[in-house]
Chains A and B, each alone.
Chain A
Amino acid sequence: DVKVTQSSRYLVKRTGEKVFLECVQDMDHENMFWYRQDPGLGLRLIYFSYDVKMKEKGDIPEGYSVSREKKERFSLILESASTNQTSMYLCASTPGGANQPQHFGDGTRLSIL
């Protein structure tokens, strides 16, 4: 089974801090994704990457950046955390090619105070 591991289940940070969320997958997947999930809004794509050092903006990239230095690791960075970034963050991966389902990590519930 694919294992997608997110570094923290719960995280509390203060406004203005730089926050790093880490995600590692163990199945050599080409594609990796970061979503945030808020009640009533569903899953919204922040950024995705289809190869090492490649990144593409999703639907809500503002206030975020990403890094993919190694194939198995995809990091989400909140450059200067704000309270409206309090949310559940989900990392996912898929193999290369079309028509692939997403494999999700357990999620990180981030609170910005």
Chain B
Amino acid sequence: QKEVEQNSGPLSVPEGAIASLNCTYSDRGSQSFFWYRQYSGKSPELIMFIYSNGDKEDGRFTAQLNKASQYVSLLIRDSQPSDSATYLCAVEGGFKTIFGAGTRLFVKA
């Protein structure tokens, strides 16, 4: 069965620091990778997607993909208290998307 693994956390970082969230996946044939942010009591919202090896930057967010190692990560620079949420890693699996269980991030003011 295809799997996506994340450290459940919580990951606690001080305001202004870099938060690093990591994810590994089992299906070597996966082509698309997504990061969703989910605030408590809300539904997930897409914040980043990446298809190619390397880095992709969008504002304070950087997604990193290493297909050889089956590893994808999300870096959040200059972390803010408003970034406190659960971050879900998701990997395309044909018609379906396989989600990790999420990493809880706390940014301390």
Residues of A at under 8 Å CB distance from B? Answer: 31, 33, 35, 40-43, 45, 48, 50, 56, 58, 90, 98-107
Contacts and interface: CB of A to CB of B under 8 A. Distances in A.
Given A90-B43, A106-B42, A107-B43, A99 B101 contact: no
Q: Across chains A and B, which 4 residue pairs bring their CB atoms closest together, nearest first?
A: A42-B101, A104-B43, A99-B32, A43-B99
Contacts of A43: 44, 88, 99
18 contacts: A33-B96, A42-B88, A43-B44, A50-B95, A98-B32, A98-B92, A99-B92, A101-B49, A102-B34, A102-B36, A102-B46, A102-B90, A104-B43, A104-B45, A105-B43, A106-B42, A106-B43, A107-B42
A108 B100 CA distance: 20
B8 interface: yes
A10 B106 CA distance: 27
A40 B95 contact: no
B101 A40 contact: yes
A99 B46 contact: no
Contacts of B101: 40-42
A58 B101 CA distance: 17
Given A42-B101, A42-B102, A43-B88, A48 B95 contact: yes
